[in-house]
């Protein structure tokens, strides 16, 4: 029954969620040209048996980019994931849509799209020698920070034909980290979506029912899904499962996470605070050195207290121990993104589960869900010599990929979720997506890494450390690093050279 009702729910919530930017263009013209007929082809790729779903999914921007004959131009994509371009035909509805998108762009614009596996060292060598590496690269957002710092990628706003104001760009660019001032170095894209890299909170329904706790869904609906309530639930979940009088990895706790370094940062950002805080005038300050941040960090300590509220993974085990603990009923909550398969075991667990946003702290009136620094971002290498053609193909790919994320989301909900509420939460999750400039800054300036890493160090790994004094130790070096970071983002940084 859930799957039958879910298709209707998905269509309704997607209007408010993934397509929520509502920047649609005029829906057509009275005269149908040959170009218009080609454009129609991309909107007719769904299975004919899905007519009901097709009527319900949100409309897409039908103002197609101008069709230009590129004379057989080879458009090279350097990506870490070949399945974003050439998946196995018939393996899924999404795979078929991707194949159709690539074919449509090739046929419509007379070009050839080819794939090379992205390698950071090869990219650096190509730029150093002035050779073309690829028309675009797609890699984790944190890596692009290194390319910005080394001057390997260009300002996308200078690429002719790319219109980042279109909804098929704005709907899928969640991190918004790779820009400063009027420069834009990288973006999320509909063909490299960041949507499933937004962190969420999984919860075990059976434990909630056992403890007689109010459903997190109801708390979210009322705006009462807060740090205080989360900590209350964590403490309530603690239980000596084997009755040996010792709380260890064999017992139940409130919380686990996909990675123990990330979890403190995820919760800190959910508090409404920043690591690098960008002001309205463009200046950047170290956001951890404020009374509000200190208060948030002390609260995070309580929520990730290993062996108290947070599951203590066995010594020598890897990060899978955390998701295993959640699946086995040894943790009430588990946080991670849906991307890259880390949380996949949850979808097969025996107990029912639900999904809600990360709870909110005192310095925000809305939910703040971190977009992983592993989310894919697209950038354009500085050594591209035929940038006009590059821009035409980029824009065509973005336009043609608009429906792929809707198809992927539909498939995910139908095959992985257990209830309608999770589908609604996930359809709306992008409105809560947040990130922080520190995640690319740490790749460009070592001092910024210090300012970021202090959060897991004092909250998770060394929780007895006093917050204010620890922050004071790194504050000056972080502020110095921020100035270097700004210069690198603006392209004005000059490496100091030693003089004799």
- Domains, the chain, ranges and CATH? 8-195+374-425 (3.40.190.10), 199-370+435-490 (3.40.190.10)
Return the SS3 of 366.
coil
Dump pLDDT digits (tens) for 254-280.
999 999 999 999 999 999 999 999 988
Q: Other C-beta atoms within 10 Å of 239: how many?
A: 17
Using CB atoms within 10 A of its CB, is residue 7 exposed (0-12), middle (13-18) or buried (19+)?
middle
Cα(6)–Cα(32) distance, integer angstroms: 36
Please give the structure tokens belonging to residue 436: 């922080």
Element (H, E) at 333: strand 331-336
Q: Other C-beta atoms within 10 Å of 484: how many?
A: 17
Q: What is the pLDDT of residue 499?
A: 52
Nearest-10 Cα torsion for 150, 153, 154, 160 = 170
10-residue averages of pLDDT along the chain (500 residues): 46 41 36 41 40 38 84 98 97 97 98 99 98 98 95 96 92 84 93 94 99 99 98 99 96 98 98 94 94 98 99 97 98 97 97 99 96 96 96 98 94 96 96 95 96 98 97 97 95 72
The tally of CA atoms less than 13 A away on the side-chain side of residue 458 is: 26
8-state DSSP, 188: -
Cα(451)–Cα(457) distance, integer angstroms: 11
8-state DSSP, 371: B
Q: What is the pLDDT of residue 50?
A: 37
CB 400 within 8 A of CB 105: yes
The set of residues, in sequence order, having a beta carbon less than 8 Å from that of 420 and lying 6+ positions away, is 2, 5, 6, 9
Query: Number of H helices and number of E strands within the chain?
Result: 19, 14
Cα(104)–Cα(63) distance, integer angstroms: 16
CB 58 within 8 A of CB 19: yes
pTM (predicted TM-score) = 0.86
Q: What is the pLDDT of residue 344?
A: 97
- Residues 301, 303, 309, 311, CA torsion sign: negative
8-state DSSP, 212: T
* 474 backbone dihedrals φ, ψ, rounded to 5°: -110, -5
Element (H, E) at 302: helix 291-303
Dump pLDDT digits (tens) for 405-441.
999 999 999 999 999 999 999 999 999 999 999 999 9
């Amino acid at each position: 029954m859930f799957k039958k009702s879910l298709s209707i729910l998905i269509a309704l919530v997607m209007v408010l969620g993934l397509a929520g930017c509502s920047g649609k263009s005029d829906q057509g013209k009275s005269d149908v040209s040959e170009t218009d007929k080609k454009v129609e082809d991309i909107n007719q790729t769904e299975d004919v048996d899905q007519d009901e779903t097709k009527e319900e999914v949100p409309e897409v921007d039908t103002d197609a980019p101008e069709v230009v004959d590129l004379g057989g131009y080879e458009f090279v994509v350097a990506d870490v994931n070949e399945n974003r371009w050439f998946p196995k035909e018939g393996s899924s509805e999404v795979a078929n849509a991707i194949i159709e998108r690539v074919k449509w762009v090739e046929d419509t614009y007379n070009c050839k799209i080819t794939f090379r596996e992205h390698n950071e060292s090869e990219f650096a060598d190509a730029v150093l020698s002035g050779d073309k590496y690829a028309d675009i690269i797609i890699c984790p957002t944190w890596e692009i920070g290194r390319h910005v710092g080394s001057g390997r990628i260009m300002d996308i706003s200078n690429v002719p034909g790319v219109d980042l104001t279109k909804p098929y760009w704005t709907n899928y660019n969640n991190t918004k980290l790779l820009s400063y001032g009027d420069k834009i170095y990288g973006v999320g894209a509909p063909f490299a979506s960041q949507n499933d890299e937004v962190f969420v909170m999984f919860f075990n329904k059976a434990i909630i029912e056992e403890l007689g706790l109010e459903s997190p869904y109801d708390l979210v609906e009322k705006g009462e899904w807060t740090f205080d309530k989360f900590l209350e639930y964590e403490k309530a979940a603690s239980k000596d499962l084997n009755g040996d009088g010792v709380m260890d990895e064999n017992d139940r706790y409130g919380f686990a996470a996909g990675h123990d370094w990330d979890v403190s940062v995820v919760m800190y950002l959910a508090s409404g605070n920043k690591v690098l805080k960008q002001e309205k005038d463009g200046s950047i300050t170290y956001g951890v050195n404020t009374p509000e941040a200190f208060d948030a960090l002390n609260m995070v300590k309580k929520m990730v207290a290993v062996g108290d509220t947070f599951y203590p993974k066995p010594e020598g085990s890897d990060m899978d121990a955390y998701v295993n603990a959640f699946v086995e009923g040894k943790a009430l909550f588990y946080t991670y993104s849906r991307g890259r398969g880390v949380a996949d075991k949850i979808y097969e667990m025996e107990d029912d589960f639900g999904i809600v946003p990360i709870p909110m702290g005192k310095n925000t009136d809305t939910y703040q869900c971190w977009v992983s620094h592993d989310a894919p971002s697209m950038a354009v290498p500085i050594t591209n010599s035929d940038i006009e053609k590059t821009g035409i193909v980029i824009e065509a790919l973005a336009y043609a990929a608009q429906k792929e994320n809707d198809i992927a989301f539909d498939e995910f909900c139908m095959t992985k979720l257990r209830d309608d509420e999770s589908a609604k939460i996930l359809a709306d999750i992008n409105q809560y997506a947040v990130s922080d400039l520190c995640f690319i800054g740490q790749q460009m300036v070592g001092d910024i890494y210090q300012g970021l890493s202090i959060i897991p160090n004092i909250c998770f790994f060394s929780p007895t450390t006093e917050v204010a004094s620890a922050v004071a130790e790194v504050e000056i070096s972080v502020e110095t690093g921020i100035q270097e970071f700004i210069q690198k983002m603006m392209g004005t940084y000059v490496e100091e050279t030693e003089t004799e």
